[in-house]
Structure 1
Amino acid sequence: MSKSKVLVVGGTGYIGKRIVKACLDQGHETYVLQRPDIGLDIDKIQMLLSFKKQGAHLVEASFSDHQSLVDAVKLVDVVISTISGVHFRSHNILMQLKLVEAIKEAGNIKRFLPSEFGMDPARMGNALEPGRVTFDEKMTVRKAIEEAKVPFTYVCGCCFAGYFVGNLSQLGTLVPPREKVYVYGNGNIKVVYADEDDIATYTVKTIDDPRTLNKTVYLRPPENILTQKQLIEKWEKLVGRELEKCSISAQDFLAPMKELDYASQVGVGHFYHIFYEGCLTNFEAGEDGKEASELYPEVQYTRMDSYLKIYA
C-alpha cells in the first residue's frame, strides 16, 4: 500500500518538529506549512530549512487566507495539526476551525489529526475552571470535524516526558529537584508518561491504519504507566540517594489557585486532574478507543528510567 502524503501544521513547534521527523522516517512524502508572518524568527526559519534539507516540502499558507489553506490541503492525503494549546506559551486551538473549513472545501483528505496528545477532552466535561477552556475548545474542534464529516483520528492520553518526567512532575521547573520533592496526595495515582519522539512515532503510524479511522488512540505504553512515587523512586535509584518528600493534600494544592496568574491556574487545574483524579488511567479505552502500544508492538518505546538518565 502506498504511503499517504502528509501536511504538518505547526511543524516548528514542540511536538510538530517531532511529527515532521517521524513522517520522514516512516517514508511519507511530507509537507510542512510555512506561515508568511514568520518574519524574523530565525530559529523557525532555520528549522524549516532543515526539514527541506531532509526531504520535506515547504508550503506557504496563512490562516488569514482561506484559499491558501485549501491549496495546501489539496497537495496531500492526511493533515496533522500540532497547534499549541499550552497557555504559558501560545494557545491557538480554535485556529484549527479554519483548517477544518479548508479540509471540508478541498474534499480530498483521507484523515485529519487535530492537535490533542494530552488528556482526552471528551472525558473532561467536569474539569476545573479556567483550565477546562483547553478541553472545551478541543471539543469544539472535534464537533466541527465530525459535523463536516471529515475522517479523523484523535491521539491523546499521556504526559509529555519533557514537562512531567525530568522534573519529577514538579510545577514551575523542568529539571529534577535535588533535595526535596513535592508529592501529590499519597503519590499512588497512576499516570501515563511518554517520550515525545515516541508520541510522534505512534501518531504517524495511525494515519494509514484502517483500525484507527474515526477512533481515539490512547498512548499508554504499559511500562510507562507509573505513579509519581514510582517515578521518584526511579530517580532516587539513579542518583543513589533519597529525597525529602513533602505530601500535598488536594485541598492544599488547590488553595492558592485564585492568587495565581491565568496560565498558572490552568496548569494547576490540569495537574489536579492528572495527579489527584487519575484522569489518564481511570477509564477503559472502550469501543471507540484503541491503545497505541497494542496496535504497534514493534515500537521500542523509551522507558522512564532510561529517559531520566539524561538529567542525572
Structure 2
Amino acid sequence: MAKRKVLVVGGTGYIGKRIVKASLAQEDHITTYVLQRREMGSDIDKVQLLFSFKKQGARLIEASFSDHNSLVDAVKQVDVVICTMSGSHSGSHESLLQLKLVEAIKEAGNIKRFIPSEFGTDPSRMGHALEPGRVTFDDKMVVRRAIEDAKIPFTYVTANCFAGYFAANLSQMETLLPPKEKVTIYGDGNVKVIYVDEDDVALYTIKTIDDPRTLNKTLHIRPPENILSQRELVEKWEKLLGKELEKISISQEDFLASMKGLDGFGQTVVGHLYHFFYEGCLTNFQIGEEGEEASELYPDVKYIRMDEYLKLYL
C-alpha cells in the first residue's frame, strides 16, 4: 500500500504538535505534511517548532487562510487533512476559519478523509449548553454541516477531558497543578467524566485515518479505566501523595452563581465544568450507530491510566 499523505493544519498548537509527532512516528506508512501559515511568521516559538518538525522528516506546505488558491494547492498534495486549530472558547470564532479549509477541500476534490478541529465534547449533544460557552459547540456544528453538505469524507474525534487541563489539577479552576492540602468537589463528586492523555488522543486520531470503520462517523475516545468520578480521581492522587485532602463541596447553585462577575472566558469555563461535573454530559449517553469507541477499535494502544499520569506531579 502506498504511503498515506497527511496534512496537519495547526500543527504547532496544543494538540496539533502531538498529532504531528504521532504521524511522524508512523513514517513507514505516512508522509507527514504540516501547514506553514504565513501569518505565524512573527511567533518565534511556533516557527522553531515548525522547523523542528522539518528536521524530523515533516514536509512544510506554505499557505494562508486569506488566500484560497494557496489552500487548494496545499490540499491537492495530500490524501488526509487533520485540522487542530484552537476553538472558540474566548468568543473569537477562530474555529470558523475551517470553513475556508472546507471550501478548499471541496474544490480540490481529492481528500479521502477530513478530521476537523474538535477533540473535546461531542457538539451534537450540546445544543442546550449554557451561554457564553455554547459558542464553542455551535461553531463546531456549523463546520460539521458545511463538511457534510460538501459531501467530504470525515471522521469527528471527541476526546472529552484533556488530562493536562482536567486531571493534573484534579479538575480545579485557576491552576494546572494538583492541590496538596484541599480540593474543591463539584456537587457530590460522583458524576463520571472521561480523562484522556493528550498523546493518546493523537495516537488514536492517527490510527483512524485509514480505518473504514470510522469513515463518516464520530470516534469517541473513552478509555474504560479513565472513566472516573472526580472523587475517584482525587482518591488516586491521595494514594500517591500518602495523605487525605480536605474536601470542600460546592453545590450546583453556588457554582453557577460564581459565573457572575467573571469575564467571558471565565463564564465559559464555569459553564463547561457545570456540564461535565454536574450534568454528566460526557457519559450520560450510549454511543450509537453514528459512532465508534477508540479503545475498542484499537485494543493494542496501551493508553495512559490516570494514576500513572499523576505520578509525574509528585
TM category (shorter chain) comes to: over 0.9
Of 123, 126, 134, 1:124 maps to 126
Contact 1:215 1:290 in 2 (8 A): yes
Secondary structure in structure 2 of the residue aligned to 1:173: coil
Q: Counterpart of 2:260 in 1: which secondary structure? A: helix
Q: Matches of 2:268 and 2:288 in 1, distance apart?
A: 28
The residue matched to 2:141 in structure 1 has which SS? helix
Q: Give the alignment partner of residue 262 of structure 1, picking from 264, 272, 275.
A: 264
Deviation per residue, 1:150-203 (Å, 9 max, x gap): 000000041000000110000111001111100001100001001000000000
Cα drift, residue 4 of structure 1 = 1.6
Residue 80 of structure 1 aligns with an amino acid whose one-letter code is I
- Would the aligned equivalents of 1:84 and 1:90 in 2 still touch at CA under 8 Å? no
- Equivalent of residue 238 in structure 1, options 240, 244, 248: 240
Deviations 1:18-53 (A, max 9, x none): 000111112310110011121321111110111001
Q: SS at the partner of 2:206?
A: helix
Deviation sequence 1:254-286 (CA, Å, 0-9, x none): 002131000011111000000011111110110
Q: Which residue does 2:97 correspond to in 1? A: 95
2:229 and 2:93 map into 1 onto residues whose CA distance is: 29
Q: Could you list the runs of 5+ residues in structure 1 that have no partner in the other structure?
A: none
1-structure distance, mates of 2:233, 2:93: 29
In structure 1, the partner of 2:4 is 4
Count of equivalent residues: 312
| Runs of 4+ residues deviating >6 angstroms | none
Counterpart of 2:140 (choices 130, 138, 141) is 138
Shift of 1:3: 3.7
By how many angstroms is 1:86 displaced? 5.4
Tell me, yes or no, if the aligned pair for 1:157 and 1:280 is still in contact at 8 Å: no
Equivalent residue number for residue 223 of structure 2: 221
Shift in Å, 1:143: 0.2
Q: Quick one: distance in 2 between partners of 1:177 and 1:37? A: 39
Q: 1:284 to 1:157 in 2, by over 3 A?
A: farther
Alpha-carbon spacing, 1:136–1:89, altered in 2? closer, same or farther (3 Å): closer
Q: Which moved more, 1:171-180 or 1:5-14?
A: 171-180
Identity of aligned residues (%): 73
Partner of 2:26: 26
Q: Do the aligned residues in 2 keep the contact of 1:61 with 1:69 (CA within 8 Å)?
A: yes
Hey, what does 2:188 align to over in structure 1?
Answer: 186
- After TM superposition, list the pairs within 5 Å mapping 1:1-312 onto structure 2: 1-27=1-27, 28-85=30-87, 87=89, 92-312=94-314
CA contact (8 A) 2:162 2:198 kept: yes
* Unaligned ranges ≥5, structure 2: none
CA distance in 2, matches of 1:60, 1:49: 12
Question: Residue type matched to 1:265 in 2?
Answer: Q
Root-mean-square deviation (CA, aligned residues, Å) is 1.1
How many angstroms apart in 1 are the aligned matches of 2:168 and 2:4?
Answer: 35
